[in-house]
Amino acid sequence: MKEMQVSTKLVRILALGGNLGLLAWVFTWQFYLSPHPLINPIAIAVAWSVPLILPLPGIVMGKPYTHAWANFFLMLYFLHAFTILYIDDGERWLATIELALTSLAFVSNILFARFRGQELGLKLKRLSKVEKEEKQRFE
């Protein structure tokens, strides 16, 4: 396997920090800082953590594809943070931290997937090229 460049290593560290930090923050928020009064806080904390745990093995191993698709899960946390920022004055600071960690994870995941994919020679064809090839194949 090809060795990572310095910029790729830095972005990988930021991605790991963002993803693991968000996982720790979400669990801490839901379990300890602001538990739901009517529902078991451990159940809520685990439910909020599961989408972040699913891609974690691939992120820890440094797989570029996992970093890329993990961003789909991060959309849930973007929406949650923006919603809380808009509607809840009491938890606004909690949502601000969630938004910052989600943003760090999102941008770092994109950059790592791009940099590492380039280093490994993984390339996606342009859509126009794929369309031309399909058109030629079926004519």
Answer whether residue 1 is part of any domain. Answer: no
Q: Give the confidence band of 105 by pLDDT, cuts at 50, 70, 90.
A: very high
In the chain, the number of structural domains is: 1
Answer whether residue 106 is part of any domain. Answer: yes
pLDDT of residue 132: 83
Its domain, for residue 105, covers 6-138
Answer whether residue 34 is part of any domain. Answer: yes
Answer whether residue 29 is part of any domain. Answer: yes
Answer whether residue 133 is part of any domain. Answer: yes
Instruction: Confirm if 115 and 13 have CB atoms less than 8 A apart.
Output: no
CB-facing half-sphere around the CA of 18: CA atoms within 13 A: 26
Answer whether residue 69 is part of any domain. Answer: yes
Answer whether residue 107 is part of any domain. Answer: yes
pLDDT of residue 125: 67
Answer whether residue 134 is part of any domain. Answer: yes
At 120-134, the pLDDT tens digits run 888 766 777 778 888
pTM reported for the whole predicted model? 0.86
